[in-house]
A and B are shown apart, each in its own frame.
Chain A
Amino acid sequence: MAETKIREYTKEEIKEIRKSRTPIPEQEPIVRGKNFEEVALGYTEEQALREANRCMACKKRDCVAGCPVEVPIPEFIQLVREGDFTGAAKKIKEKNSLPAICGRVCPQESQCESLCTLGKKMEPVAIGRLERFVADYERAHGGGGEVAKPKPTGFKVAVVGSGPAGLTVASDLAKIGHEVTIFEALHKAGGVLVYGIPEFRLPKAIVQSEVDGIASLGVKFELDSVVGKLYTVDELLERGFDAVFIGSGAGLPMFMNIPGENLNGVYSANEFLTRTNLMKAYLFPEYDTPIKKGKHVAVVGGGNVAMDSARTALRLGADKVYLVYRRSMEELPARKEEVHHAVEEGIDFKLLTNPVEIIGEDGWVKGIKCVQMELGEPDESGRRRPVVVKGSDFVIDVDTVVMSIGTGSNPIIPESTPGLELTKRGYIVADETGATSKPGVFAGGDIVTGSATVILAAGAGRRAADTIHEYLMSKVKN
């Protein structure tokens, strides 16, 4: 059913619009570099219709194969084309509980859009932007019209962590009628979606609305509840939960172990982003949590978190932000769009550059000493290994350094859960289905894979939900 006036495109027009994707309105770089509001403003209905008409509705459906949760992409785009935006949102939600989030933060260019048939000759269909559009439309128009409450199964499931994996598991299981309780260590639900990803990339109101939606399914949220400390996993099982899903994330920041790393003004990206996003330090002193607003900031690393940190530093008022990365532009693991935005905003990329020391004065950061690198032979990751250029060290004058070189496994759950098999690096061993070495205990997301993406965590959550459901149903039979 069409909810909006459909613009019919003629064959000639379609041929024309297929040539290039519909641009998404964005805040100007010079403006957005000074505020925390969202960078991309989202498609209008007209823009969404135009972009949906670019889809060839090809038989290959490679885009679906490129999606970790196999969203029925051509089908939802067809609904957009018909003007049924709410229907399109429902279609996505058959496979992905968090479309407003994934539409914003998924690396589409290396997933669905990378396999788009149109993209082989021209620019691929902007699938992510369309996903975002329909999710936003549904939220704005209250099109949720929530589903009828399922018949309770009588089974109780505990979910540890309320990030993308936990939210997905909880949502999927609640929809089948299982009683789900999410235990969240922090005072707010959302995990990395609230503490890590900045407001300007993922507004917290959107995360809250997804959380509210999941709560409306009957999922209970126990905030301030550190599993492993307040309750162990075994205690949750003893307390009547029939299964436990661990989606606690990769919460232990790594440092380089170079001199000067404990100087005042050196942050882990996790701390820098948590202070800013979760604790709202950018609104200090209206909010109580402070952050050092560096004038000259070096962010070390090349992932999405590094981009987020650099762009956050800029918005906190830095005059100059450097991104220090030891390989070259080509190897940057961050999403292309994030890199593009960072460059537009004036982040200074110091590539093939590796820090060797943080220089201090009276306990505070004064500079970061780096060496120049060159690319040598490929390493085990297949990327060319950066090698130090002898005698190339130089100092960048900065007052703040943000270490964004990845995270390790948080020890709290592994330490407190006997019988849970771990990898050498401390991550939980779980198979494709989410099953761990411990009966009744399942895991997924970064605590299994190490730092990855929102959608991979959501995908793991989806598969684990299927596995947990099967596990619970097998208990009925016995």
Chain B
Amino acid sequence: MANKILEKRVLRSDLFYFRIEAPELAKKAKAGQFVVVRADDNGERIPLSLANIDPDRGTISLLVQTIGVTSTKLSTLSVGDEIKDIAGPMGHKTPIEKYGRVILVGGGFGAAPLYPIGRAMKEAGNTVISITGARSADLLVYEKELGEFSDKVLISTDDGSKGHKGLVTEVLKNEIEANGADLVIAVGPAIMMKFASLTTKPYNVKTLVSLNPIMVDGTGMCGACRVSVGGKTMFGCTDGPDFDGHLVDWDLLMSRQRTYLVEEKEAMEAYTCSCAPHS
């Protein structure tokens, strides 16, 4: 069978790294693309960014943050287990070319797609600066990995336990002011991407964001992933996932992401209940 887990790492209590055998996908996928994953027969289809693509080893990597039922189910899988369904690579690849100075901004699971994107940007001859943050130093992930190709890795923490005390957007602002930038790529929670885009706007630095709307099929068939970009409705899956951050209607994205909050809670309770040991 396919989609066998070859490596699993716990990056944080709520964040898991999986390297998965998927030779065809690994051959085809490019930085910035994503896959649609289903954990089991009753499972939901959820989009996940590709955290690494290794055509030589025939593997792809995913970063799973436990938020809902599917991510929680995935987090319980171990090396040797198989992931029920992985379909892709979906969406367009990130346009890799020589821009000059490229700043990557990401936090948590958002750091995942930045790894293949950053590597490719470096290989294309760019100077790559990575900015990542967390609430505190112990929650930071991917710092080392980003360091593999970055000319510089800048850190921010809310509590100041490492790097700049404050937000990644402040680090971004300082970096643009000090050294300028030709391209900013921000990936992570919508609120972070929104503020990263607002930060770069006054400097007129082109800013790409990788949008994460709710999806079902991931192939353009259902239209659940509608986003508004420059006043035009687009599909996150077939038109994206990368869009111009300065043109995205962020409030709409965040509102649509909240569509199933009530149901997600209900599903989580049902799932936790069914998994609880019988007393």
Contact = CB atoms under 8 A, between A and B. Distances in A.
Interface of A: 185-187, 195, 223-226, 229-231, 251-253, 255, 257, 261-262, 264-265, 267-268, 270-271, 274-275, 279-280, 284-290, 292, 363, 410-412
Contacts of B252: 262
A253 B223 contact: yes
Contact of A411 (B224, B238, B259, B264): B238
Contact of B85 (A187, A195, A275): A187
Nearest to A229: B89
Contacts of B70: 288
26 contacts: A186-B87, A187-B38, A187-B87, A195-B217, A224-B85, A226-B219, A229-B90, A230-B87, A252-B220, A252-B223, A261-B226, A262-B226, A264-B256, A274-B217, A274-B221, A284-B266, A285-B270, A287-B42, A287-B44, A288-B69, A289-B45, A290-B44, A290-B263, A290-B266, A363-B258, A412-B219
A274 B219 CA distance: 13
Contacts of B221: 195, 251-253, 270, 274, 410
Nearest to B92: A415
A226 B85 CA distance: 12
- Which of A225, A231, A270, A285 has the most chain B CB atoms inside 10 A of its CB? A285
> Could you tell me the dominant secondary structure of chain B's interface residues?
mixed
A230 B88 CA distance: 6
B66 to A, nearest CB: 14
- Which of B42, B70, B228, B256 has the most chain A CB atoms inside 10 A of its CB? B42
Contacts of A251: 217, 219-221
A106 to B, nearest CB: 23
A251 B221 CA distance: 5
Nearest to B254: A363
Given A229-B89, A268-B223, A274-B222, A185 B263 contact: no
A195 B221 CA distance: 10
A410 B219 CA distance: 8
Contact of A226 (B84, B90, B224, B255): B90
A275 B266 CA distance: 17
Contact of A410 (B43, B220, B226): B220
A363 B255 contact: yes
A290 B260 contact: yes
A231 B222 contact: no
Interface string B34-62: 00001000111100000000000000000
Given A288-B271, A290-B266, 11 more contacts: A226-B219, A231-B28, A253-B222, A262-B226, A262-B233, A270-B221, A271-B223, A275-B216, A280-B42, A284-B266, A288-B70
Contacts, number: 124
Contacts of B238: 252, 410-412
Given A285-B266, A363-B255, A411 B220 contact: yes
- Which of A187, A271, A288, A363 has the most chain B CB atoms inside 10 A of its CB? A288
Contacts of B44: 279, 287-290
A43 B85 CA distance: 39
Contacts of B255: 264, 363
Nearest to B226: A262
B89 A271 contact: no
Interface in B67-91: 69-70, 84-90
Contacts of A292: 259-260
A268 B42 contact: no
A225 B223 contact: no
A270 B69 contact: no
B256 A223 contact: no
Contacts of B270: 285-286
A84 B205 CA distance: 76
A262 B259 CA distance: 11
B225 to A, nearest CB: 9
Contacts of B184: none
Contact of B267 (A185, A225, A261, A284): A284
Given A286-B42, A288-B43, A185 B87 contact: yes
A280 B38 CA distance: 14
B24 interface: yes
B69 to A, nearest CB: 5
A284 B85 CA distance: 20
Contacts of B228: 262
Contacts of A226: 87-88, 90, 219
A253 B226 CA distance: 11
Contact of B224 (A195, A231, A271): A271
A288 B42 contact: yes
Contact of B258 (A187, A224, A255, A264): A264
B186 interface: no
Contacts of A289: 44-45, 216
A270 B217 CA distance: 10
Nearest to B69: A288
B170 to A, nearest CB: 29
Contacts of A274: 216-217, 221-222
